[in-house]
Amino acid sequence: MKAFEIFLFKVLILLLVLDFSGDFIILYSIYIIQEINPIIRVSISVVLFSLTLLSLLYLKLVFRLSFHFKLVLLLILIPVAYGFLGGVVKNSPSLALRELLPFFTLLLIPIFLNLSNIDLCKIFHFLLKAVLFTVLIKLFCTQVVHYIYYGYFSWRLLLRITPLLLLPLSYIIYSYSNKRDNGLLSFYFIIVIAGILVANARALYIAALSVASLSLSQLRFMILFKLSFLFLLAVFIVYIYSDNDILSIFGYWSGDNFESSYGYRETQFAMLMERFLSYPIFGVGFGFFTPGYESYEDINLSYLLELDLLNFFTKIGIPFSIIYIFAFAFYFLVSISSKMYIDESNILISKSFNAFLIGCLIYSLFQTMHSSILFWILFSFSFSFNAKIINLKFQS
């Protein structure tokens, strides 16, 4: 049974990576790509549903969690349940349910808890390889196709997949801090940095700097020197293929491009602050959207905004937002402060996932990530992994 569950998780990872990397502009106009995307979405739903049903068989394992992890789960679920009920009562029940759907992936926690640490490590490394391989394909092979198809290189290939780059980034840096230095790791680091630069997303740069700052302080001088050299090498490689435009590599922090993006988010921020002032205690509930804002009420996910985390806080109100923030802060505190790790490989994965989740939450201040299925699947994995290596009740 476990072998089948691991197989399903690997299939799910591949489908998610394909889905979150399938919106690059190179071949988007080609008919076959438009036909494949819905199939991928349906396949993700089928695999997730199958894993959820299997997870119900191990639901009792949740009750074996330590008090700290039960508390974290409870403090996350209470604000989410409140936002959903508020949306059902005050807004559209169907939109409220759709906004709730990503949180259903927390039901995967029991099946993760049932897997051994070795199995979870295998799934983690498979995820890293899937992300790195996809980025490598998109960075090199698709550039050639784009050049043949359009006559020039493209530098907006990594759109939705960008937050996933934070996971290999944190893992590689922490690997160096654990003195796991090898040529392959250096190659992976160059791929990740090149991917982050090619993504050309300012929110990703901020999140990546936050992730790196959590681990760089633990590195020796010679390792820092080596990473600096590898970083400059990645910049040089991207620079060669970007028409020698250094500004396009590090993103435009001034000018029309920046002003347009900044003004767009400034308008959203003002709108969200108005919501907070109008509904500070009770929030607006799941499924809510501001009528007349841009054309959001006409699109499929009208209740989402780029300022994802702030938008979520307006749905649950200030009191439940404080509870929600405390839940994550407490989770990271428990995960980091515990000394009950089994070996260095577990410490490495735990630290990498903690840094990745922190980076995703920072990224969600500027872009949509927190409200995605991908975020909650990876949170469920991280939560279960930390619970297993910290909670002695799971050690046999």
The pLDDT mean for the chain works out to 80
> What per-residue confidence (pLDDT) applies to 25?
40
> What per-residue confidence (pLDDT) applies to 359?
93
What would the two tokens of residue 338 be?
């515990």
Overall domain count for the chain: 1
Q: What burial class does residue 396 get, using C-beta atoms within 10 Å of its C-beta: 0-12 exposed, 13-18 middle, 19+ buried?
A: exposed
| Domain boundaries, position 291 | 2-394
Q: Look-up: residue for tokens 């939109």?
A: 95
Q: Look-up: residue for tokens 């009420």?
A: 297
Q: Tell me, what amino acid is at 345?
A: S
Contact 227, 189 (CB under 8 A): yes
Residue 257: which pLDDT band, with cuts at 50, 70 and 90?
A: low
Per-residue pLDDT of 76-107, as tens digits, reads 999 999 999 999 998 888 888 988 989 999 99
Per-residue pLDDT of 270-281, as tens digits, reads 888 888 888 889
How far apart, in whole angstroms, are the C-alpha atoms of residue 396 and residue 101?
34
Short-list 67, 65, 182, 167, CA closest to 126 = 167
Per-residue pLDDT of 280-294, as tens digits, reads 899 899 988 776 555
Q: Look-up: residue for tokens 């293929």?
A: 241
Contact 87, 96 (CB under 8 A): yes
> What per-residue confidence (pLDDT) applies to 334?
87
Residue 28: which pLDDT band, with cuts at 50, 70 and 90?
A: very low
Extract the runs of DSSP E, i.e. beta strands, from the chain.
none
What average pLDDT does range 301-310 have in this prediction? 73
Residue 355: which pLDDT band, with cuts at 50, 70 and 90?
A: very high
